[in-house]
Structure 1
Amino acid sequence: MAITIAAETPLQDDVRAMVADLNATMIPLTPREFQFQLTVEQMAEPALTTFVARDGNGRHVGMASLKDHGGGLGEVKRMFTLPEVRGQRVGSMLLERLEQLAREKGLSRLVLETGEAPGFEAAYRVYERGGFTVCGAVLDYPDSGFSRFYEKKIS
Structure 2
Amino acid sequence: MYSVTAESAHHPDILALITALDRYQSALYPAESNHLLDLTELPDDSLILMIIRDAQLNAVGCGAVVLNGDGTGEMKRVYIDPAHRGQRLGDKLLAALEDEALSRCCHTVRLETGIKQHAAIRLYQQCGYERCPAFAPYHADPLSLFMEKTLVADVRLAAL
Q: In structure 2, what is the equivalent of residue 88 of structure 1? A: 87
Across the aligned residues of Structure 1 and Structure 2, the Cα RMSD in angstroms comes to 1.3
In 2, Cα distance between equivalents of 1:8 and 1:51: 5
Q: How does 1:14-25 map to 2 (within 5 A)?
A: 14-25=13-24
Q: Please tell me whether residue 133 in structure 1 is matched to residue 130 in structure 2.
A: yes
Task: Name 2:6's counterpart in structure 1.
Answer: 7
Partner of 2:109: 110
Q: Gaps spanning 5+ residues in structure 2: where?
A: 153-160
- Map 1:40-119; keep pairs closer than 5 Å: 40-42=39-41, 45-116=44-115, 118=116
Q: CA deviation at 1:39?
A: 2.3
SS at match of 2:57: coil
What is the aligned partner in structure 2 of residue 147 from structure 1? 144
Q: 3-state SS of the aligned residue for 2:45?
A: coil
Seen in structure 2, the aligned counterparts of structure 1 residues 43 and 54 have a Cα distance that, compared at 3 Å, is farther
1:11 and 1:44 in contact (8 A); partners too:
no
TM-score, normalization by structure 1: 0.93
Amino acid at match of 2:143: F
Distance change >3 Å, CA 99–CA 40, structure 1 → 2: closer
SS across alignment from 1:70: coil
Q: Which amino acid aligns with 1:10?
A: A
- The alpha-carbon deviation at position 111 of structure 1 amounts to 0.2
Tell me which protein shows more helix as a share of its residues: 2
List gaps (5 residues or longer) in structure 1.
Answer: none
Question: Matched residues in 2 for 1:49 and 1:33: separation?
Answer: 26
1:43, 1:50 within 8 Å by CA — same for their partners in 2?
Answer: no
State the Cα deviation string for residues 6-57 of structure 1 (Å, max 9, x = none).
1111212221111110001000211101211122423564311210010111
Match of 2:121 in 1: 124
One-letter amino acid of the structure 1 residue matched with residue 130 of structure 2? T
Question: CA separation in 2, counterparts of 1:40 and 1:105?
Answer: 18
Distance 1:4 1:43, change over 3 A: farther
SS at match of 2:37: coil
